[in-house]
Chain A
Amino acid sequence: MDNALVAEDLSRSYGDTTALDGVSLAVVRGEVFALIGPNGAGKTTLVRALTGTTTPDSGTVSVFGSPPDAVDENRIALLPQAFSPPERLTGRELLEYYAGLYDHSRPVEDVLSEIGMAADAEGWYETLSGGQQRRICVGSALVNDPDLLFLDEPTTGIDPAGRRDLRDLIADLADGGTTVFLTTHDMAEAEALADRVGLLADGRLVEVGSPEALVADHGGESRLVVETDAGTDAFADSGYRVSATSRTLTIHGIRPEKIGEAVAALERAGIEYESLSWTQPSLEDVYLELAGERGAEEPVLAGGAR
């Protein structure tokens, strides 16, 4: 395997707080690697260690075979978390500014088109909407056509259409051979984009794998969630495994073709319900399971049909 990025046994502490605790990973060239994890898990510190903008207490990083501070900056790009560029430059000027810092850059017009800002490029950054601002920030990381792109929560603050556009853009970059390392809280984004996903919790890389493998190993079962205040008694002899909270009844391990039978059982038992929804296990379930954030109550799933 030809690795773009290798980290071995990275540790980093800030005072008594351990941000990274022995993190090792490798990202293959052309791969999209998504890092997920709760707030404070160490995601941004890991990005900083990988880009050389912070020095780990121990461990090594190799970017294209070189330490981060020796790598050719023209080959990499970073969109930092909570990044805010000079606010009284227009979108076009900002991209021209960042393009001017590299030896070779792409035509700014092309980047503006890719990020969907060609028509709104003349407004000052501070006058743009939050989503437009984030698009310009993403564009600033694309001007040098990087081989390795670090995106620290790139879609934060972007509306659903903008998210979709940026996902398409990242997918296109990956198709073109760009290695992408992104952090996100959006599990759907990670699942849709990433070849592999790493879960960071308390500074440790808990699990790494393809979204499908992670879901299969840690996602749990499909389930039918019924919004009702009925208990589990009515289903005691149904053969289903059922759990209940004060607001929901969850039928576990139910395949889609059995949903009709479950609904019939609800009606036979005289259970009134507001809605019901069936879900397959997802990366969010993996996240909740591995990050230890699954609550005592089952979540009420959205999108139910009466």
Chain B
Amino acid sequence: MSSLSRTRAEFEAAWHSFIRRRTAVFFTFFFPVILIVIFGALVTTDPTGGGLFTEPSEYYLAGYLAVVVLFTPISRVGSTVARHREGNRFEKLATTPLRRTEWLLAHTLVNAVLVGIASAILIAVLWALTDATFTLSPLLVPFVLIGSAVFCGIGAILGRVADSQDGVIAAANTIALPMLFLAETFVPPDLLPGWMGPVIDLLPLTYFSRGVREVTVAGGPWTTDLAILSGLALAFFLTGAYALPETD
């Protein structure tokens, strides 16, 4: 049995486990719809130039995508790791030929598919409900997939560090929420203090939002952002795989 076969077995088990949780499925895909309806359609810009969301609608596409790329993998993988620990599943898996990298790859693929579907819904809703004009670039695919891999790796690390599913969710929110608003998603960097520049540059999500904005709106260079995001994905993936527990 090859590594591919083992990864496929883990992927299929993880996929079926997820799609049979109807509540989780509903909110995973309904979440982007709510997001666009509230922030893209209901919240309007003050005609005098003040208020929230003063940038053109398309500016926020990267932010909307960042929400699903960030939250879905980090919370799902983190809580999956916690659930596996509670059920002694890793102890069982440690005595099978399945490698930790294969396990995390399978779960990363599951999340990449989910995030991909959610992103497609999000883009469609944004296009339908707002006046946003953007390029539907195929480069969105690698950004979304690689971005998901980054946060799957971070989720695996959180699952190792936190001692319960509740702990994972709390930790994920604590990390993800500030990152979401600091990583050039919804808040333009010139609205933040200058000294935060280096902090922003340290956030993985920054390279996702910059790159996505370049390929969908600005039309500028995106290769550096994708390269950095890929490097971070590899680093967090390997660290996350190494962090997966076997028993205690």
Contact = CB atoms under 8 A, between A and B. Distances in A.
A238 B88 CA distance: 57
Interface in B1-52: 1, 5-6, 8-10, 12-14, 16-17, 20-21
Contacts of B131: none
A52 B13 contact: no
A290 B9 CA distance: 46
A78 B92 contact: yes
Contacts of A100: 1, 5-6, 8-9, 12
Contacts of B246: 53-54
Interface residues of B, number: 28
A150 B21 CA distance: 32
B91 A53 contact: yes
A218 B155 CA distance: 53
Contacts of A144: 96
Contacts of A96: 9
B97 A74 contact: yes
B97 A77 contact: no
Contacts of A14: 248
Contacts of B247: 48, 53-54
Interface string B54-90: 0000000000000000000000000000000011110
Contact of A84 (B13, B21, B89, B96): B89
A83 interface: yes
Contacts of A102: 1, 96-97
Nearest to A103: B1
Given A53-B246, A101-B10, A103-B97, A89 B16 contact: yes
A87 B21 CA distance: 10
Nearest to A137: B92
A96 B12 CA distance: 10
B94 A53 contact: yes
A86 interface: yes
A94 B12 CA distance: 11
A88 B16 contact: yes
Contacts of B87: 82-85
Contact of B95 (A73, A97, A124): A73
B171 interface: no
A76 interface: yes
Contacts of B8: 100
Contact of B89 (A52, A83, A103, A150): A83
A101 B6 contact: yes
Nearest to A143: B96
B132 interface: no
Interface residue range, chain A: 35 or more
Nearest to B93: A101
Contacts of A84: 86-89
Contacts of A81: 88
A80 B1 contact: no
Interface string A111-150: 0000000000000100000000000000010001000001
Nearest to B89: A85
B164 to A, nearest CB: 15
Interface in B149-164: none
A81 B17 CA distance: 22
A87 B1 CA distance: 25
B98 interface: yes
B88 A93 contact: no
Nearest to B13: A97
B74 to A, nearest CB: 20
Contacts of B89: 83-86
Contacts of A73: 95-97
Contacts of B17: 86-89
Nearest to B19: A88
A155 interface: no
Contacts of B16: 88-89, 93
A98 interface: yes
A54 B247 CA distance: 7
B21 A140 contact: no
Nearest to A82: B88
A92 B135 CA distance: 46
7 contacts: A73-B96, A96-B9, A97-B9, A100-B6, A100-B12, A104-B1, A124-B20
Ranked 4 nearest A-B pairs via Cβ: A100-B9, A84-B87, A88-B20, A80-B88
Interface of B: 1, 5-6, 8-10, 12-14, 16-17, 20-21, 86-89, 91-98, 246-248
